[in-house]
Structure 1
Amino acid sequence: MQTQAISNSAHNNVRQFPAPKQEGRNLTDQLGFTIEGVIDKDVMTAKAFPRDVRQCIKNIELTIAMSPEVSASCYYTLPRAGKTITGPSIRLAEICSSFWGNMQSGTRVISNNGKSVVVEGWCLDLETNAKVSHEISRGIVTKDGKPYSTDMQNTTIAAASAIAFRNVIFKTIPKVFIDQALQKAMALSVAASNQEDFEKKRQNMFENLERLGIHVEKVFAFFGKSSIQEFDLEHMKMIYGIRTSIKEGMIKADEAFALSESRSDMVNSLIDDH
């Protein structure tokens, strides 16, 4: 009787997701189960085995600390009008989603009119019944108004899906835990045991930028520096974050260190904000 009561309560609170179709037939007809029934069982399991928040946080932080490269991939930085926007990345969303547990999430394309695509991300916390969805729109035409090729459209959809996924994960998991993970990632990304280790990491950072097609001279001009030795920990944090933005498709490599205003104003405001 107790099990039945839990099942009925869970069924009443769970969002009714449409059953997917395959080759013109409902998935229920082929495999003998309903999507609602699967979620119903998942809710029961989540209630029976609730997440241990302390252990979740510990696992997230252990993963972030696996290597400086992993840490650096967990946050992004975008220069905007003389200031910077720093936030948790898609990679951190994947890590948090894996260890937070008792969640379901996904993305889907909800429209494509030939000029833009709209992707929806959704997330359901099976313990709290908190449901979050978020839409991302991206253009799929060139500056000349010509539609992207199929490959470019697929690439654009994949990038939008990743961002939609990131946004719903960070709207579902309490922000206080995300901020804690973000600060840890930023600190670990530039951690060095001694001066020699720091100089080696700094040199590797610029070599990685070169592999992305970004010449050191452009970075020097952006920060108003004339040598690698002038870059400190705060500069490195910012550069790592910008590199993540490039890798996640948030900004193009040739735009990342462009000077849209006077160099001194740009650099001073960037550093002062940290």
Structure 2
Amino acid sequence: MNNLSEQFNNPQSSQQFQSGQPMQNQSVTAHSSASREIEEVKGAIFLAKQFPRNMFEAQNRILDNCKRPALAASSMYSYPKGGTKVTGPSIRLAEVLARNWGNLSYGIKELEQRDGESVAMAYCWDLETNVRQEKVFTVKHSIYRKQGGPKLLLDPRDIYEKVANDGARRLRACILGVIPGDIVDLAVEECTKTLAGQNEGPLKERIVKALTFFKEKHGVTQEMIEVRFGYNASSFSEFDLVQLTNIRNSLKDGMSTVEDWFSKEEAKKVDGGLATEFEKSQEQPKTEVKSDAPNQNPIEQPELPLE
């Protein structure tokens, strides 16, 4: 009777009764879970030391994957800035690099979820060299719209997708911070070769043909296309041409309309000199469109959506 009275008078004992599980058992469970995670990490490190990567084979695997057209088409992101564009390896290419480089532990973890926001961590750890990159960030449970202001996310699936989407950019930066830069450059170069080998004729001529097609078939001017991409047609690359092709296929199949992709009102604000360049390109299809020099320090930005 005295013991029962002490438990009701002691808040800690009362909490143990309410939870149905003694605090001692909870502590044992937490300790067991932590010990299991430590043993898993030790095992991964031991295997990485026992079976170190063959850098020559890893490089060949990466280059072989970059010869796949589907990967090459999504291997780069682009971001408009000051009339030109900033480009860099996409998260899809970074994942291929990590898988084929070997002995890497990488991913995104949600550390905490509070009211209206989540705290997450993106990381990449080279188990051989013990080089680790990690980024802790906060994700608001809302999305910003051009009209109507922010929209709160209440569905757990929407929150999960928002955390995963924001974490993808941090994960890409972590992976690219661990894998040697020369390997990344070789992968990007191989993806460019893959895209170039799929098409006939120089890139500049194919861009002119694409611009001509959109104007003749859909009444879409060069200004409207440049507003959509955020930079001048003279800066277009193989990846931009792939995006134009995807838009053309969507219009052809009736999955979208011209208004879904291009804005006539915004195009009217663009300098009319671009139209003159377009007309000259039609008259002289063999004239090369000079490409602006790409930024050598691409920032972390998402790839332009094609939805």
TM-score by shorter chain over 0.5: yes
Residue 189 (structure 2) pairs with residue 188 (structure 1): no
Query: Structure 1 residue 94: deviation in Å?
Result: 1.3
| Cα gap change, 1:170 to 1:81, in 2 (>3 Å) | same
Q: 1:234-253 to 2 correspondence within 5 Å?
A: 234-240=236-242
For residue 158 of structure 1, what is the aligned residue in structure 2? 164
For residue 122 of structure 1, what is the aligned residue in structure 2? 123
- What amino acid is aligned across from residue 147 of structure 1 in structure 2? L
Residue 291 (structure 2) pairs with residue 271 (structure 1): yes
> Percent identity, aligned pairs only?
19
For residue 181 of structure 2, what is the aligned residue in structure 1? 175
In 1, distance between residues paired with 2:46 and 2:129?
Answer: 12
Structure 1 length as normaliser, TM-score?
Answer: 0.64
Does the 8 Å contact 1:73/1:89 carry over to 2? yes
Does the 8 Å contact 2:225/2:262 carry over to 1? no
- What amino acid is aligned across from residue 52 of structure 1 in structure 2? N
Query: Structure 1 residue 57: deviation in Å?
Result: 1.1
1:77 alignment partner, SS class: strand
For residue 149 of structure 1, what is the aligned residue in structure 2? 154
* CA RMSD across the alignment: 4.6
In 1, distance between residues paired with 2:87 and 2:136?
Answer: 21
| Cα gap change, 1:260 to 1:220, in 2 (>3 Å) | closer
| Cα gap change, 1:201 to 1:65, in 2 (>3 Å) | farther
Q: Give a deviation string over 1:130-168, Cα, whole Å, max 9, x none.
A: 111013444433554552231432221121232222221
Provide the aligned length of Structure 1 versus Structure 2. Answer: 229
Structure 2 length as normaliser, TM-score?
Answer: 0.58
2:220 alignment partner, SS class: helix
Does the 8 Å contact 2:73/2:242 carry over to 1? yes
2:197 alignment partner, SS class: coil
| Cα gap change, 1:43 to 1:62, in 2 (>3 Å) | same
| Cα gap change, 1:59 to 1:148, in 2 (>3 Å) | same
Larger Rg: 2
In 2, distance between residues paired with 1:36 and 1:114?
Answer: 31
In 2, distance between residues paired with 1:24 and 1:60?
Answer: 45
Residue 230 (structure 2) pairs with residue 222 (structure 1): no
Does the 8 Å contact 2:121/2:167 carry over to 1? yes
Q: 1:56-71 to 2 correspondence within 5 Å?
A: 56-67=58-69, 69-71=70-72
Query: Structure 1 residue 174: deviation in Å?
Result: 1.4
Greater Cα offset, 79-88 or 160-169 = 160-169
- What amino acid is aligned across from residue 173 of structure 1 in structure 2? I
In 2, distance between residues paired with 1:217 and 1:169?
Answer: 39
Does the 8 Å contact 2:124/2:175 carry over to 1? yes
1:190 alignment partner, SS class: helix
Q: Give a deviation string over 1:205-247, Cα, whole Å, max 9, x none.
A: x99x9xxxxx8827663349xxxxxx89954333447999xxx
2:152 alignment partner, SS class: coil
| Cα gap change, 1:138 to 1:28, in 2 (>3 Å) | closer
| Cα gap change, 1:160 to 1:199, in 2 (>3 Å) | same
| Cα gap change, 1:220 to 1:264, in 2 (>3 Å) | closer
For residue 251 of structure 2, what is the aligned residue in structure 1? none
